[in-house]
Amino acid sequence: MTNFIDKVAVVTGAAQGIGAATALKLAAGGATVVVLDLNEAGAKDTAQQISADPQVLASGGRAVAAACDVTDEATVDRVFADLHREFGRLDILVNNAGITRDNLFFKMERPDWDSVLTTNLTSAYLCSRAAQRYMVPARSGRIVSLSSRSALGNRGQANYAAAKAGIQGLTATLAIELGPFNVTVNAVAPGYIATSMTAATAERVGSSPAEHQAAVAARTPLGRVGQPEEVAAAVVFFASDDASYISGQTLYINGGAR
């Protein structure tokens, strides 16, 4: 188990899915993890479950919940300042918050374009900007953001693809600018992962989640879809000391699919 004892991590969109799985792995390594989510009740429930996990209890880690609209600049700045004031440090930021509003391009309405770009990309800008205020003076930090295989293009996801491609450009640029301060910046780009988001995609195309997963598995070299814990493992690696000389990279996690 990677050692995150005495580290403080913030994971956005962590009430469920990949964010919750990442928060659990960080806490199991001994970190104090802030489960940050717009859904305050969901964040509290997830934080309680993590704190009660046997591995987390054994490591001395813990999870606390914080409500935050990561698309609102003033709210993000205030919440990150409050967290730094409470814990005295910020070592790890995981930009995981995201939504989909899928549709073919000629049917896509402006509000669906704007909401996906704002939630998936602008939030990463706002949270990373807030986090670096504390990481740069400390000359230490890890920022890991969630991109997607859809960054390479995906039918019905022009908005999501653009946002996730933007994450990769933001990651590469922040790695250049923050590297002199010993802050590494990386991204992971999952393929099909079994989450509520991909279940919603299945319903959009008129399929059940099980049927949709079976179809994806059939064209994936490993013969199955991914699980949130498998993406979380890569995020946690980038957040660890083992990745201290890796920065500006995007790792695709897709079972070998092309």
Nearest to 227, CA basis, from 237, 239, 213: 213
pLDDT (tens digit per residue) in 1-10: 569 999 999 9
Structure tokens of 241?
A: 């000391």
Name the pTM for this structure: 0.96
Distance CA 225, CA 115 (A): 27
Tell me the per-residue pLDDT of 3-58, one tens digit each, with 9 for 90 and over.
Answer: 999 999 999 999 999 999 999 999 999 999 999 999 999 999 999 999 999 999 99
SS3 69: coil
Contacting residues for 254 by C-beta, under 8 A, at least 6 apart: 149, 189, 190, 191, 192, 220, 226
For 96-122, what is each residue's pLDDT tens digit? 999 999 999 999 999 999 999 999 999
Q: Give the pLDDT confidence score for residue 195 in this predicted structure.
A: 87
Cβ-in-10-Å burial (0-12, 13-18, 19+) of 139 comes to exposed
Q: Which amino acids are annotated catalytic? A: 160
pLDDT in tens, 138-173: 999 999 999 999 999 999 999 999 999 999 999 999
